Amino acid sequence: MGALHQGHLDLVEKSKSQMEITVVSIFVNPTQFNNPEDFKKYPITLEKDLEKLESYGVDYVFNPTVETMYPSKPGLTLNFGELETVLEGRFRPGHFNGVGTVVAKLFHIIKPQTAYFGQKDLQQVAVIKRLVRDLSFDLDLEVVPTRREEDGLAMSSRNLRLNSEERKQALVLVEALKTAQSQLESGESWQKVKAQIESKFFRMDSGNLEYFELVDPDTFELKEHFDPNQKSSICVAAYIGEVRLIDNLPIIL
């Protein structure tokens, strides 16, 4: 959706290394915003974005208008089952319908052989995987690891909306994730870890927590217990000031 950072450019580099032609879409999609104020305040930096993409040798940029993508109000609604009831699905009702609709349109218009998505939006990746599988899109998905700032904060276009104090406070997300990861790896139970993290890290003066959960990264089933023999990821969402940030960390033993 523009306001490109190095995490986006990692996707470009991955595509350039594997594909003959690389296309980048830039479109702030109104149908995936369940908060109108968030849509209004989303950062737009198109001129800088185009300069970055040109320097990386991108072949085409698809930057449609809202009228091009939605000549009429969509009558179709997509529902992604249990993914709609947990984490992002629970706190942002209708969000994944908007994501699925616009990504399906982009797939039909551009017809990629491979599409690249970032791990930071882990639940979105699960949604797109289901979209591709259930609607039989003839393409491959590549998931690229989360790119972080030097202090560990996950890169996000929304970081541009943080003031200097909020930028410092935003580190609470990655600090909580890393602490929880360390505790799980040392044998602590998930329920004890979760309670400690919620109490220690997320007070009103440091971040207004929406969720801090252990999930199966494929199904997004919430886990009550940590099993080192199964794939798991910790996911977090919190407001820092008026800015909602998300992050996640896979637990690999």
- Domains in the chain: ranges and CATH: 6-144 (3.40.50.620), 163-251 (3.30.1300.10)
Relative to beta strand 208-215, strand 140-144 is: unpaired
Structure tokens at 3: 């306001």
Q: How confident is the model at residue 80 (pLDDT cuts 50, 70, 90)?
A: very high
pLDDT value of residue 204: 56
Q: What are phi and psi of 69, to 5 degrees?
A: -75, -30
Measured CA to CA, the distance from residue 146 to residue 149 in angstroms comes to 10
Cβ–Cβ < 8 Å for 3, 49: yes
pLDDT value of residue 206: 62
Q: How many residues are present in the chain?
A: 253
Q: What percent of the chain has pLDDT over 90?
A: 94
Residue 239 has pLDDT above 70, yes or no: yes
Residue 242 CB neighbour total at 10 angstroms: 12
Q: What are phi and psi of 214, to 5 degrees?
A: -100, 125
Measured CA to CA, the distance from residue 87 to residue 217 in angstroms comes to 12
Question: Which residue, among 126, 12, 131, has the nearest Cα to 60 in the 3D structure?
Answer: 12
Cβ–Cβ < 8 Å for 70, 208: no
pLDDT value of residue 200: 85
Q: How confident is the model at residue 98 (pLDDT cuts 50, 70, 90)?
A: very high
Burial of 173-184, coded b for 16+ CB within 10 Å and e otherwise, reads: bbbbbeebbebb
| Residues annotated within a binding site | 1-8, 32, 118-121, 124, 155-158
- 8 carries an active-site annotation: yes
Residues 20-71 pLDDT 10s: 999 999 999 999 998 888 999 999 999 999 999 999 999 999 999 999 999 9
Output the furthest CA–CA distance in the chain (Å, rounded).
Answer: 54
Structure tokens at 76: 């179709």
- What is the average pLDDT score of the chain? 95
End-to-end Cα spacing for the chain: 34
Residues 145-185 pLDDT 10s: 999 999 999 999 999 999 999 999 999 999 999 999 999 99
Q: pTM for the complete prediction?
A: 0.93
Cβ–Cβ < 8 Å for 63, 27: yes
Structure tokens at 16: 């350039």
Measured CA to CA, the distance from residue 79 to residue 185 in angstroms comes to 35
| Residue 212 one-letter amino acid | F
Q: How confident is the model at residue 140 (pLDDT cuts 50, 70, 90)?
A: very high
Give the active site residue among 8, 95, 108, 225. Answer: 8
Residue 139 CB neighbour total at 10 angstroms: 12
| Residue 80 one-letter amino acid | F
